[in-house]
Structure 1
Amino acid sequence: MIKVVYPGTFDPPHLGHLDIVKRSCALFDKVVIAIAKSPRKNLLFSLEERLDMFRAMVEELSPKVEVKGFDGLLVDFMKKEDIKVIVRGVRLFTDFEYELQIALNNNNLAGVETIFMMPSQDYIHISSTIVRDIASYCGNLEGLVHPYVAKKLKEKFGCF
């Protein structure tokens, strides 16, 4: 069985993330979405909220997909979960440049491999930063996030 991890902060998770998960499911036996606690980042949602939102998004993909939180180095989480492959979504060349540095360091630290996937054309323009910006002005989130995530964003920003 080939298990992969799809790590990130996912603040908030969006349809581009879901696209990568669904396409990973077609290639691998098990996809573990690893949501980083990331206490040093100024996050909009708590780890528990991000876990809840991503679980709602992938409910139909169970049991092939699991959503777990972690704190610390990704490679330590991977060792604990017995996972040897990372899946990362990359949208632009600047994403690839940053992700390549991380992939090389993860390989040096623990011998893990990283597979890069581009989101489908329908989702390549979406980022969590853009979603947060639109939500902060109570803008239309349709086509960007799962309805449950949209509800949580509206609650967070008081948009009713």
Structure 2
Amino acid sequence: MMIHLLLFAALLSAFIPLSILLYRIVSPTILSFPWQLPSGSSSASRRKHDKTKTVVFAGSFNPPHWGHLVMIRYLAERYGRVICCIGVNPNKRYDVTPQTRAQILRDMLSGGDDGSTRCKNVQVEVVTGYIWRYARTQNASLFYRGIRTWSADGQDERQLQILNSWGPLLLGPLVWPLQTIFLEGDPKYRHVSSTVTRQLCAKIRKRRLNGEVEVHAELEELTKLVPEWVMDKVVDAYGR
């Protein structure tokens, strides 16, 4: 009888955490725009607690754009430390290297010449290997991903979520996986893509190489995608 009870307790102790992980995958946490900070008197302690947390915001940032910046500003306002991670697959060739994208993102977060919009509690890192392993070395509490909408990106994101949820249990080190929270982007920037940016940057660069200086219309269009203070670097990286 005692053996049966111990076996039942062991099965129950395994079933509960596995059920939690399955629930996270089946019912992901999605924050729709506009994202809200905890508010009200009862949320004061939560806001204070959030300021002690480190969170990881992972993505390809290809290219970094206004949509990313808006998300990062929200996270920087809510949490004490934000780490933007760009993953590297050593077996993959990148047209724009992760290091270049990381530097553009750092410049973007500097806030321009006056630094008025600088995110001081944000760092940008290029990570080789599993980002969830890196997140653990930084004592991160949460894992964030930016998406256009769940209907548009959910299928691909679910595969990454499964890896982030089960990777620590199957590949080690054996630790409880971080929860992934998805931020649905501002509708103004959901159309931004690497293809759109490349086409516009290539057009600007070609006209400049041809000696044309009147590219105001194209530059104005580019400011809708990326901040003005990083436009030249974006054109140089993505206009080839």
Same fold (TM over 0.5): yes
Q: For 1:57-72, list aligned pairs within 5 A.
A: 57-59=108-110, 60-62=118-120, 64-72=121-129
Q: 1:53 maps to which residue?
A: 104
Contact 2:54 2:140 in 1 (8 A): yes
RMSD of aligned Cα (Å): 1.9
User: Given the alignment of the two structures, is residue 27 of structure 1 paired with residue 78 of structure 2, yes or no?
Assistant: yes
Contact 1:53 1:148 in 2 (8 A): no
Superposed CA offset, 1:44-85 (max 9, x none): 3223221211111112111x1111111111111112212131
Q: Give the TM-score of the pair, scaled to structure 2.
A: 0.60
Q: 1:81 maps to which residue?
A: 138
The counterpart of 1:120, out of the listed 186, 200, 210, is: 186
Distance 1:20 1:107, change over 3 A: same
Superposed CA offset, 1:121-152 (max 9, x none): 22222223322232223344121012243211
What is the rounded CA distance, in whole Å, between the counterparts of 1:31 and 1:125 in structure 2?
25
Distance 1:45 1:148, change over 3 A: farther
User: Given the alignment of the two structures, is residue 147 of structure 1 paired with residue 228 of structure 2, yes or no?
Assistant: yes
Give the SS at the match of 1:151. Answer: helix
Aligned residues: 157
Give the SS at the match of 1:13. Answer: coil
Give the SS at the match of 2:94. Answer: coil
1:117 positional shift: 0.6
Gaps of 5+ in 2: 1-51, 111-117, 169-176, 205-217
Q: Give the TM-score of the pair, scaled to structure 1.
A: 0.86
What is the rounded CA distance, in whole Å, between the counterparts of 2:145 and 2:68 in structure 1?
10
What is the rounded CA distance, in whole Å, between the counterparts of 1:71 and 1:52 in structure 2?
16
Q: For 1:123-142, list aligned pairs within 5 A.
A: 123-138=189-204, 139=218, 140-142=221-223
Gaps of 5+ in 1: none
What is the rounded CA distance, in whole Å, between the counterparts of 1:70 and 1:116 in structure 2?
20
Q: Which has the higher contact order (CA 8 A, sep 6+)?
A: 1
Higher CA-based Rg:
2
